[in-house]
Chains A and B, each alone.
Chain A
Amino acid sequence: MFSNLLSSIEDVSVYPVITLILFTFAFVLVVIRLVFMDKRTVEEMKNIPLEDDNEEFITNNENNNEKKQII
Chain B
Amino acid sequence: MNVEKFSYDNQYPKLFALATIFWGVVALLVGVTIAIQLYVPALNLGIPYTTFGRLRPLHTNAAIFAFVGNAIFAGVYYSLQRITKARMFSDVLSKIHFWGWQLIIVAAAVTLVSGITTSKEYAELEWPIDIAIAVVWVVFGINMIGTLMKRREKHIYVAAWFYIATFVTVAVLHIGNSIELPVSFLKSYSVYAGVQDALVQWWYGHNAVAFFLTTPFLGLMYYYLPKAANRPVFSYKLSILHFWTLIFIYIWAGPHHLLYSALPNWAQSLGTVFSIMLWMPSWGGMLNGLLTLRGAWDKVRDDPVLKFFVIGVTAYGMSTFEGPMLSLKNVNALAHFTDWVPAHVHVGTLGWNGFMTFGMLYWMIPKLWRTKLYSKKLATVHFWIGTLGIVAWVIPMWWSGITQALMWKEFTEIGLLKYPNFLETVLQIVPMYIIRSIGGTLYFTGLLILVYNLFKTIKQGSFVPEEEAEAVPFDRTPEPVKYGMIHRYIESKALLFTALVFLAIIVGGLVEIIPTYLVKSNIPTIASVKPYTPLELQGRDIYIREACNSCHSQLVRPFRSEVERYGEYSKAGEYVYDHPFLWGSKRTGPDLHRVGKKYSNMWHYLHMQDPRQMSPGSIMPRYPWLLEWDMDKESIPAKISAMRTLGVPYPEGYEDQAIADLEKQANEIANDLIQNGIDADPNKDIIALIAYLQRLGTDIKNEVAEK
Asked whether B524 lies within 8 Å of A15 as measured between CB atoms, the reply is no
Q: From residue B270, how far is it (CB to closest CB) to chain A in Å?
A: 6
CB of B269 within 8 A of chain A? yes
Asked whether A2 lies within 8 Å of B269 as measured between CB atoms, the reply is yes
Q: From residue A16, how far is it (CB to closest CB) to chain B in Å?
A: 6
Asked whether B230 lies within 8 Å of A50 as measured between CB atoms, the reply is yes
Asked whether B155 lies within 8 Å of A2 as measured between CB atoms, the reply is no
Asked whether B371 lies within 8 Å of A6 as measured between CB atoms, the reply is no
A4 to B153, CA, bound (A): 55
Chain A interface SS verdict (over half) = helix
Stretch at the interface among B20-28, B118-126, B240-248, B321-329: B240-248
A45 and B155 contact, Cβ closer than 8 Å, known pairs A13-B266, A54-B468: yes
- Interface hits, A19-62 → B, CB 8 Å: 19, 22-23, 26-27, 30-31, 33-34, 36-38, 41-42, 44-50, 52, 54, 57-61
Stretch at the interface among B77-85, B108-116, B185-193: B77-85
Asked whether B155 lies within 8 Å of A5 as measured between CB atoms, the reply is no
A47 to B154, CA, bound (A): 13
Q: From residue B260, how far is it (CB to closest CB) to chain A in Å?
A: 12
- Interface hits, B516-545 → A, CB 8 Å: 519, 521-522, 524
CB of B233 within 8 A of chain A? yes
Asked whether B236 lies within 8 Å of A9 as measured between CB atoms, the reply is no
A8 contact set on B, CB distance < 8 A:
519, 521-522
Asked whether B372 lies within 8 Å of A60 as measured between CB atoms, the reply is yes
Asked whether A49 lies within 8 Å of B227 as measured between CB atoms, the reply is yes
Task: Report the number of A-B residue pairs with Cβ-Cβ less than 8 Å.
Answer: 121
Residue of A13, A18, A45, A52 near B82 (CB, 8 A) is: A52
Q: From residue A71, how far is it (CB to closest CB) to chain B in Å?
A: 12
A3 to B241, CA, bound (A): 34
A22 and B507 contact, Cβ closer than 8 Å, known pairs A49-B83, A54-B469, A58-B370: yes
Q: From residue A21, how far is it (CB to closest CB) to chain B in Å?
A: 11
Asked whether B159 lies within 8 Å of A49 as measured between CB atoms, the reply is yes
A52 and B83 contact, Cβ closer than 8 Å, known pairs A23-B249, A59-B370, A66-B230: yes
Asked whether A9 lies within 8 Å of B515 as measured between CB atoms, the reply is yes
Residue of B nearest to A60 (CB): B372
B467 contact set on A, CB distance < 8 A:
54, 57
A16 and B83 contact, Cβ closer than 8 Å, known pairs A22-B507, A23-B249, A31-B241: no
A58 to B370, CA, bound (A): 7
A46 and B233 contact, Cβ closer than 8 Å, known pairs A9-B522, A15-B266: yes
Residue of A nearest to B158 (CB): A45
CB of B294 within 8 A of chain A? no
Q: From residue A28, how far is it (CB to closest CB) to chain B in Å?
A: 11
A8 to B233, CA, bound (A): 51
A38 to B237, CA, bound (A): 11
A55 to B646, CA, bound (A): 62
A59 to B371, CA, bound (A): 8
Asked whether B521 lies within 8 Å of A57 as measured between CB atoms, the reply is no
Asked whether A46 lies within 8 Å of B83 as measured between CB atoms, the reply is no
Asked whether A50 lies within 8 Å of B270 as measured between CB atoms, the reply is no
Residue of A16, A44, A46, A61 near B273 (CB, 8 A) is: A16
A26 to B281, CA, bound (A): 14
Q: From residue A14, how far is it (CB to closest CB) to chain B in Å?
A: 10
Q: From residue A7, how far is it (CB to closest CB) to chain B in Å?
A: 9
- Interface hits, B255-269 → A, CB 8 Å: 264-266, 269
Asked whether A33 lies within 8 Å of B157 as measured between CB atoms, the reply is no
Asked whether A3 lies within 8 Å of B266 as measured between CB atoms, the reply is yes
Residue of B nearest to A7 (CB): B521
B522 contact set on A, CB distance < 8 A:
6, 8-9
CB of B182 within 8 A of chain A? no
B79 contact set on A, CB distance < 8 A:
49
A45 to B153, CA, bound (A): 10
A54 contact set on B, CB distance < 8 A:
467-469
Residue of A nearest to B274 (CB): A19
CB of B415 within 8 A of chain A? no
Q: From residue B622, how far is it (CB to closest CB) to chain A in Å?
A: 42
Residue of A45, A59, A67 near B157 (CB, 8 A) is: A45
B228 contact set on A, CB distance < 8 A:
63
Asked whether A3 lies within 8 Å of B264 as measured between CB atoms, the reply is yes
Can you give 21 contacting A-B residue pairs, CB < 8 Å? A3-B266, A12-B266, A16-B270, A19-B274, A23-B249, A23-B277, A30-B240, A31-B241, A37-B484, A38-B484, A42-B236, A42-B237, A44-B155, A45-B158, A47-B232, A48-B157, A50-B227, A54-B468, A57-B468, A60-B372, A67-B230
4 closest residue pairs by CB, A with B: A3-B265, A36-B484, A52-B82, A8-B521
**Residues of A that sit less than 8 Å from B by CB:** 1-3, 5-6, 8-9, 12-13, 15-16, 18-19, 22-23, 26-27, 30-31, 33-34, 36-38, 41-42, 44-50, 52, 54, 57-61, 63, 66-67
